[in-house]
Amino acid sequence: MAKYKPQHARLLFIDKKIRQGHYPNCSSLAEEWEVSRKTIQRDIEYMRYQLDAPLEYSAQHRGYLYTEDQFHLPAMDIRESDLFGIYLADKLLNQYEGTPIYDSLCSVFEKIEQSLPEKISLDSSEQDKFTVFPPFSTVIDQEVWRVVIGGLRSSEQVEISYKTPGKQEQWRILDPYHAVRFEGDWYIVGYCHLRQEVRTFSLSRIQAAEKTGKSFAIPEDFDFEKLSGSRFGVHWGKDEIRVVILFTSRVADYIRERTWHPSQELTETDDGGVILSLTVNHLLELKRWILSWGAEARVLEPRFFAEDIRRTLLDAGNRYKTLENP
């Protein structure tokens, strides 16, 4: 059983409000916690009959109170490592700043903080010892987020105007299956009726979105984990491709110290270099990553991919034959 269930946090929140003497009722508690009135009513009944809370409703104050002043709802047992996790969670929220869900995440985290036992508080001085540098985030239109994510949650088709870089906007019907957060952007994986296949769309490139009122069902054979299993980045395809890359001794330590892909294998070379082998189902982002290593990386297999990298580097070199402005 999970240690921190949403209900436990709500119960601590209700307990705190009652002990503050505010005489909260189901309506006020439901509004503040953003749940239904019936949910709070069930929580109140649970506190009364399962936790033996001395709860009573005051008709005069139109809210609940404890008839025993010393009663405290049993709080969750917070270990030092748990509290440290809360410190870091607060910092990690920064990576979502500027996205449509940032305010909601902050609201949830604030409620968790409020639900902690009174003897436990988040030490701001300790939080100052940690910093999270968030990835550069794309800009997503709030209305686009609302419509598309709403369609994903309710299995409702949406019509979107999508702008692929370098091309004109184009309207299409989309069945949103799955949302992915990757390197500062949100992506929607779904069935594109225009192309009649499952595709991946960046939410930041959706210029407009509208509800259609039509529902859809996700195919039984859709398996996101299987679809994205061999990915290197956020793009994926159908074919599995084994890629072998030789890195020089100057950068070999950087390659050794990190897991770049679940399928990776490392082979040492006599001159201190390292050979990285991995199997992916799309080459676009792997190509960009290899190019980022410049002359320190060389593709050994497959040959067609090595030739593609070679042509790209030659084109880049030609652009620097002269340093005069065009």
Nearest to 105 by CA among 96, 114, 113: 96
pLDDT at residue 220 greater than cutoff 60: yes
pLDDT tens-digit readout, 1-14: 333 346 777 888 89
For 6-66, CATH gives 1.10.10.10
**Domain range annotation of the chain:** 6-66, 80-127, 142-222, 241-318
The whole-number pLDDT of residue 4 equals: 39
SS3 of residue 136 by DSSP = coil
Residue 272 makes CB contacts below 8 A (sequence gap 6+) with 249, 252
* pTM of the predicted structure, to 2 decimals: 0.64
CA angle 219, 279, 224 (to 5 degrees): 20
Cα(314)–Cα(306) distance, integer angstroms: 12
Contacts within 8 Å (CB) and 24+ apart, 258-266: 260/232, 261/232, 263/230
Nearest to 261 by CA among 238, 289, 237: 289
Better-scored residue on pLDDT, 161 or 95: 161
Give residue for tokens 């008709």: 59
pLDDT at residue 36 greater than cutoff 70: yes
Fold type of domain 142-222: SH3 type barrels. (2.30.30)
For the chain, what is the mean pLDDT?
86
Dmax over Cα atoms in the chain, in whole Å?
86
- Highest mean predicted confidence (pLDDT) among 67-76, 227-236, 310-319: 310-319
Cα(17)–Cα(38) distance, integer angstroms: 18
How far lies 256's CA from each of 10, 250, 252, 266, 310, in Å?
A: 46, 12, 6, 8, 25
Beta-strand ranges (E) seen in 87-235 are 156-162, 170-182, 185-192, 197-202, 206-215
Question: What number of H helices and E strands is found in the chain?
Answer: 11, 11
DSSP assignment string, 207-250: EEEEEEEEE----TT--HHHHHTT-SSS---SS-EEEEEEE-TT
pLDDT tens-digit readout, 77-94: 555 566 667 667 777 777
Cα(286)–Cα(284) distance, integer angstroms: 6
pLDDT > 90: percent of the chain: 54
pLDDT at residue 274 greater than cutoff 60: yes
SS3 of residue 262 by DSSP = coil
Q: Average pLDDT for residues 298-324, to the nearest whole number?
A: 92
Domain 241-318 has CATH 2.60.120: no
Buried residues in 172-186 as b, exposed as e (16+ CB within 10 A)? ebbbbbbebbeeebb
Q: Please classify residue 134 by burial: count the beta carbons closer than 10 Å to its beta carbon, then call 0-12 exposed, 13-18 middle and 19+ buried.
A: middle
- For the chain, first and last CA: distance in Å? 65
